[in-house]
Amino acid sequence: MTYMNAMKRGFRSIFKHKGMMIIVFIGPIFLTLLFGGIYYNDYVKDVPVAVLDEDCTSLSRLVNSYFITNERFQVTNYPESKQELQKLIDNGEVQMGLYIPKGFESKVGTYKSSEILVITDGSNVVTANNALAQATMIVQSVSAGIEMKLIQGKGVLPAVAENMALVYNIGERILFDPKMTYMNYLMICFLAIFIQQLMLAAMGGSFFRESEYITHGDTAKKVLGIVSSCFIAMIPSLIVSVLILKTLFHVPFTGNMLTAVIMTLCFILALTGPSLVMASLTKDRIKYSQFEFMLSLPTFATAGCVWPVEQMPWLLAVIMKISWPLIYYAKTVQEVIIKGMGIITVLPNIISLLLFSAIWFPIGIHLYKKSFTLTYSDTIQQ
């Protein structure tokens, strides 16, 4: 009964406070639309490019035409010198420069080595990687075509010339996300961080408002009841968020959603202990909120979503695994949904979340009860 009464009290508190209603009913949907809109395009398009063509031959114009017709690029400038090209990049007017040196066609026609220089603004790694990869493909395609024509010029049949020019090919097969889009790569991880931050905000608000009620009697059951009310109230907006990702942003939900739900429940339970500890240490709702918002970036960055955990210093990975549960949840649930990983595969992560809860939940209950019992004792004495 204690658990159910606490859950009912939690629901009443949610509908009583506008801030709580915004967090649980609107927060996930708003953040999904916002971040989904940012990554709406499958890849970076219309990268501004400046072309410096000192050769001005049919071959150099052919290379230029490939960049003009490619949707990844938008040729916006034709500088007349290297200095002008460099200035355009330095000033941010273009993000990539293409330099075709004088004598390019004549050297190619006599089998001499020649070079097309691609200069990329590396200050934006996303744009730079996309632009450089596509530019490399274009230059390699042109190079292969030129080599085939040169071989054919010696009287070799076209089919034989193609085999001679392309001694070997790379066969590629990209699984799960053939386009390698940022939407599929990041949005499930973003949804995980939305759940984390919004649940921490909802739990924190309840823990401070209901502290006198929670600390009297069976604190653990009351905490679980209130946390359950926060999560249950958030479920409709999470369902809408998932539908938005699937229908509007075309994120492939091919995995077992039951496995994802089980992981999410374990993750919410694992968050409860740290939330109680934060409330106990700050003893102030505003300070709690400030600290909670500060956690979003470092916990996301160390969860394996943008950089593999295996590539982090081992000590940092150990510290995060001990101190915060997102590292067991975000990237794994993304792989469950996108790759279709089964519950047996992710069972170690589920066990890790449960072990994390088993350690931090009692610590949080002890600190919370001690902190807020003393607070009310001091208030009564005054």
Looking at the structure, tell me whether residues 153 and 22 fall in a common domain.
no
Shared domain check, 152 and 199: no
What's the CATH code of the domain at 107? 3.40.1710.10
Tell which of 135, 165, 195 closes a domain: 165
Residue 135 in domain:
yes
Q: How many domains does the chain have?
A: 2
Distance CA 103, CA 209 (A): 77
Condensed to tens digits (0 to 9), the pLDDT of residues 74-121 reads: 999 999 898 999 999 998 899 999 998 888 888 766 666 677 888 888
170 within domain boundaries: no
Task: Tell me: pLDDT of 157 over 60.
Answer: no
Q: Which residues contact 194 (CB under 8 A, 6 or more apart)?
A: 27, 28, 31, 32, 241
Residue ranges making up the domain that contains 120:
47-165
Check residue 196 and give its pLDDT: 97
Looking at residue 260, its pLDDT comes to 94
Asked if residue 109 lies in contact with residue 84, where contact means CB atoms within 8 angstroms, the answer is no
Report d(CA 138, CA 118) in Å as an integer: 11
What per-residue confidence (pLDDT) applies to 161?
Answer: 47
In this prediction, residue 31 carries a pLDDT of 94
Most confident of 57-61, 138-142, 362-366: 362-366
Cβ neighbour number for residue 234 with a 10 Å cutoff = 23
Kindly give the residue spans of alpha helices, DSSP state H, lying in the chain: 2-16, 18-21, 27-38, 58-69, 82-90, 104-109, 125-152, 158-165, 182-209, 211-215, 219-243, 257-282, 285-294, 296-301, 314-323, 326-339, 347-381
Mean pLDDT of 34-44: 85
- Do 35 and 155 fall into the same domain? no
Looking at the domain assignment, is residue 173 inside a domain?
no
pLDDT digits (tens, 9 = 90+) for 176-228: 777 777 788 889 999 999 999 999 999 999 999 999 899 988 999 999 999 99
Q: What are phi and psi of 222, to 5 degrees?
A: -65, -40
More confident call, 365 vs 163: 365
CA–CA gap between residue 165 and residue 173 (Å, rounded): 23
Per-residue pLDDT at 30: 95
Dig out the tokens for 199 from the structure. 């649940």
| Within a domain: 335 | yes
Q: Which of 114, 132, 165 is the last residue of a domain?
A: 165
Whether 309 maps to a domain, the answer reads yes
Residues 102 and 194 in one domain: no
Q: Please give the residue that has the higher pLDDT: either 236 or 45.
A: 236
Helix (H, G, I), strand (E, B) or coil at 168: coil
Within a domain: 369: yes
**Are the beta carbons of 75 and 94 closer than 8 angstroms?**
no
Report residue 49's pLDDT band, with 50, 70 and 90 as the boundaries. very high
Q: What are phi and psi of 179, to 5 degrees?
A: -80, -10
- The whole-number pLDDT of residue 44 equals 81
The answer to whether residue 174 is domain-embedded is no
Least confident of 5-19, 144-158, 194-208, 275-289: 144-158
User: Does 101 share its domain with 118?
Assistant: yes
Phi–psi pair at 214, nearest 5 degrees: -70, -40
Mean pLDDT score, 306-323: 92
Tell me: do 139 and 185 sit in the same domain. Answer: no
Q: Is residue 113 located within the same domain as residue 203? A: no
The last residue of one of the domains, among 140, 165, 190, is: 165
Residue 77 lies in a domain: yes
Query: Do both 9 and 80 map to the same domain?
Result: no
32 and 59 inside one domain:
no
Higher-confidence position of 126 and 241: 241
**One domain for residues 195 and 339:** yes
Cα 113 to Cα 115: distance, rounded to the nearest angstrom: 7
Q: Do 82 and 15 lie in a common domain?
A: no
In the predicted model, is pLDDT for residue 150 greater than 70?
no
Cβ pair 263, 346 in contact under 8 A: yes
Q: Which pTM value belongs to this model?
A: 0.84
How much of the chain, in percent, has pLDDT values that exceed 90? 55
Q: How far apart are CA 7 and CA 233, in angstroms?
A: 11
* Residues 99 and 10 occupy one common structural domain: no
Mean pLDDT of 114-129: 83
Could you tell me if residue 111 is left (phi over 0), alpha (psi between -120 and 50 degrees) or otherwise beta? Answer: left
